[in-house]
Amino acid sequence: MLAAGINAITAMNIQHVESLNPTMKRLTGIDIRETVPDLFLARAGQIVNVDITVEALRERVREGKIYPAAQIEHGMLLRKACRTAGQLGADWYAVHVETPSEAVSRVSTKDFASLLDNINLASDLGAETVWLKSDNIVAAMLEFARTHGVTKIVLGRTHQPLWRRLLKGDVTKRLLNAASDFDIEIVGGEDVGETEKT
């Protein structure tokens, strides 16, 4: 088109810029497959940055119009823990507790890849990442927190089927009941994912 003297106007999301792909994957945990070569942008006669308001972006995220909610909530939770630690001038930990039913050999490749992405993101955000193994998530987290001088716990509500909540109880509620000596902050609504600690 350009060779024929035709002006072309287009729009694109910055996440699709090829050279930004590794950064976007690290920040969002999303693997962007459709990328635009930097050379394409270099040939542009003019580039105009257009953005929407923060409120509109948050609304689009909540509605799942940008990424599926389950895919982004973990990263929103990690960033909240990071900001909280920064405000307190404190070191922070991102803790994963592996139960026997969620052993690496038993989870899907997709779930394991998602877990590794979250661990990498937490590390990039400055967390010390910790992988515990226990059949009691709450006891393992609290023992770790007490032995490492943790004073504040930032967590999200876990996705659990009703049968599991009835059988084992809700992890978030159990932790709230057992952790009266900690400052606890719950991020998000009923369906926010993994638990992280400051």
CATH fold group of domain 68-187: Rossmann fold (3.40.50)
pLDDT at 5: 84
Q: Give residues with Cβ within 8 angstroms of 99, minimum separation 6.
A: 133, 134, 135, 137
Look at residue 164 and give its three-state secondary structure: helix
Range list for CATH 3.40.50.620 in the chain: 68-187
pLDDT at 54: 63
pLDDT at 191: 38
Separation of alpha carbons 156 and 196, rounded Å: 8
93-113 core/surface letters (b: 16 or more CB in 10 A; e: else): bbbbbbeeeeeeeeeeeeeee
pLDDT at 158: 60
Separation of alpha carbons 122 and 15, rounded Å: 20
CA dihedral 109, 174, 159, 97 (to 10 degrees): -10
pLDDT at 20: 81
- Enclosing H/E stretch for 144: helix 137-147
pLDDT at 169: 64
Separation of alpha carbons 71 and 59, rounded Å: 16
pLDDT at 144: 95
> 0.85 exceeded by the pTM?
no
pLDDT at 31: 74
User: Could you list the mean pLDDT of each consecutive 10-residue stretch along the chain, which spans 198 residues?
Assistant: 83 82 72 83 81 69 58 70 87 90 77 79 85 92 94 76 60 85 76 40
Q: What Cα–Cα distance (Å) separates residue 65 from each residue in 61, 72, 111?
A: 6, 11, 22
